[in-house]
Structure 1
């Protein structure tokens, strides 16, 4: 007698992968007003004619993964969210955003639900911080990792698994060069093998719009700006020195037919060119709103003075400083902020004991070897408060008696220098007609 079969599962369930793909990400939405958590659905889209965003959600459970929005273009999503925010009648309708791998949706959602019951739940807050994102963060992603042709690097002979463990694809998603050099052996003949170390940089494909490719380069023996005939004449002595010291030039350069922000990779001795069209100038930098003139200056590679800036987690301490695009960090930042009062980052402040904190506030030095940076490594320098900026600075390690002798009294501390931003019109004239 034939064995009776059970009722077959619905077709949607039969097609559903048993294990959600951790390489694909979706967006969880949390509505702070009522604590509700939803997953963005793949039906969500922006009408190309009207610009209206059709917003759709599903419950954040594994059984709905076939309906999840698959994040392939972070900038397109940021644009949709911005449009949804503009068309929304009530600002509270706009939810918090969380970028989450498919296989973590259920777990992250359960922790987000907990925040409505206990807003101080440590585990839930840690999960929230790990996956929370924003339109500004999404706009920084130029090359989404899920679209990167990793198989091409694999075919060349690179160890892609090691690269993934090192996290370099997440760096390259922001348009950065790989932070490490990777070995590659190339067979040049029957008995000849060429081995070397290479940096990897993502690029937009020259002929296929939206396609990503990689540029693989070996280090040069001499800085590129000393070898390239055009750079040798275009750059002045101060700009070459700025490149050597890790700064981004305060003007754009033309490279491969388009204007680019320019910097220098000291690991490879090669120039870094970031096409201006790939960089979105934000409306806010450190919560300070930019006016149109400031935005235009930043688009040209220039610098602007920003006042009354503050960090999200510390609105009590404001700062000011010169903002500029940093081609190494691939973001607009203030390299030297001047704080309204002593500022110690939270991750460092939590490691300080009472004596260390008092020493810093009195102008003394503390042993940085007792503290760890954001990467988990112990510092190798002493730390003290810079009397000029009210922020932390690193100083060469010294014995306690040496550090004590180096402490200045308030009367000996140098006054804060005046920051000067060159006149925009004068800067434009000095560019000798370079424009965009």
Structure 2
């Protein structure tokens, strides 16, 4: 197969790396890609960007691509996958209508209700009065979410009523609706469910870390690290979530005439009342993809191709490494509020027992590697257990040279110590 991957981040770098290891994948092309992907794939420009469905379809035709894999959420919500499929090219990623499961939190709640999916009680708000009533109904901690896409940073969870109102007002001022919902207590789990519109195959679960600082302090980010497997998770959790959440949602989307083919990201809280859905996404999560794919032994290209072609029911069962994987995000100075870019990056060539996936990187006029975003690198390590994987990951992080950079020091630490309980 010849596969074209759309995107620029560490998630797409992880996909490119996984696809390049599939013996049935002859060529991997990334568009527009990044300097890290260019080391293992042919990177092609997208002059009009990742939202240009026609340009992506033209490139796929020019390359003779057998499969297009759309990484980020924005092009999926914009309908890029529809345009690619209209050209007769297989595409992994839901239609624009189906991607509204991520594009609108209110729509996702509507689908969950129709499919009897367990989730938080929620209120859709369009006015300040509705916001105040919803905050009174849910009580603290307050959970306030932008209804639309917000790159993982549109959610505020706070005990401060004024802060909750202020965030809600900022969303209204931007012309968007918002969702206020009850707080779900319990450890969070990320589960990727691959679907062809009918059949569902779950990957191994992971846990990510959204807050910028250790001990889950500071503002939300796109994600500062992740790990897999979750040795503390209840037995049968994956099967239970597929049965009660993923399959009913896929069935409901098909009943609506908008089948969901791609990856349904199920964000869960394991509450005292059982698993509850925190959110749906319509694509692989970042940084969880980095650790989940590090443990996948089955060929990635064949899996994504089967989903894109409606053949998932005939696909072999997935196989997994028993090893643990940890990723730590190295972020630029000022992230997430005002990330600084253009700083030189060094120390990546001598890493031992770890590898780096590029996110916000670029090459300057002299060809030197520099920072170009908030989350700059994902450092990934695999070990016999979480302790070894953490040690290897953090040893590698210490070798990365990026002025002013910061990272969390506690990724997977509680899990390693056995301090997570359900």
Give the TM-score, by structure 2 length: 0.26
Higher relative contact order structure (alpha carbons within 8 Å, sequence separation ≥ 6): 2
Q: TM-score, normalization: structure 1?
A: 0.25
The structure having more radius of gyration, on CA atoms, is: 1
